[in-house]
Amino acid sequence: MIRRLEAQRACLAAATEKVGALPGSFLELGLGNGRTYDHLRELAPDREIFVFERNPAAHPACTPSDEFLIEGDFTTTLAQKKGQLEASAVLAHCDIGSGVKERDLELARAISTDLDALLCDGAVVISDQVFDRKNWRPLSVPTTVEPGRYFMYLKV
């Protein structure tokens, strides 16, 4: 768990720096207990962060306000936000893994088109899962991150 969190932190820092000059919001897929969301608020205090979570249960101090919390299954809620967020997000952090590889790969495939529609060109995607999109170029993860532990992509 410690290596996963260290990888996540390093990738978030690298991605935040890479999109620093781009205007737009951040997306967090998977609130969990809210630690990553809280860290993103610290890294980018002036950014709007939209959080997608099926069943929010984080500490209130680490839970976004209602206008930024989108409750429900990713396969539904990402598509529902196209009208509001279309092509405006500059960073998406996807913490969507369940530990069941086949299910995780299927979820990544299922959400990739709707997620892509919310991202502007030049956006960075950070994920605990592999995505396979022709218009997302793999980026190198920071040297401190073990290959295959976390993934980064640039939307082109």
pLDDT at 51 over 90: yes
Q: How confident is the model at residue 87 (pLDDT cuts 50, 70, 90)?
A: very high
Rounded Cα distance between 79 and 128, Å, is 21
Rounded Cα distance between 46 and 146, Å, is 30
pTM summary value: 0.95
pLDDT at 123 over 90: yes
- The predicted pLDDT at position 88 comes to 94
**What percent of the chain clears pLDDT 70, i.e. is strictly above it?**
100
Rounded Cα distance between 24 and 88, Å, is 5
Q: How confident is the model at residue 97 (pLDDT cuts 50, 70, 90)?
A: confident
Q: How confident is the model at residue 73 (pLDDT cuts 50, 70, 90)?
A: very high
CATH number of the domain bearing residue 11? 3.40.50.150
Instruction: Give Cα 69 to chain centroid, integer Å.
Output: 14
pLDDT at 90 over 90: yes
CB 131 within 8 A of CB 144: no
DSSP per-residue string spanning 137-149: EEEPPPTTSPTTT
Per-residue tokens: 143: 């040297």
Instruction: Residue 61: give the domain boundaries.
Output: 2-155
Could you give the number of structural domains in the chain? 1
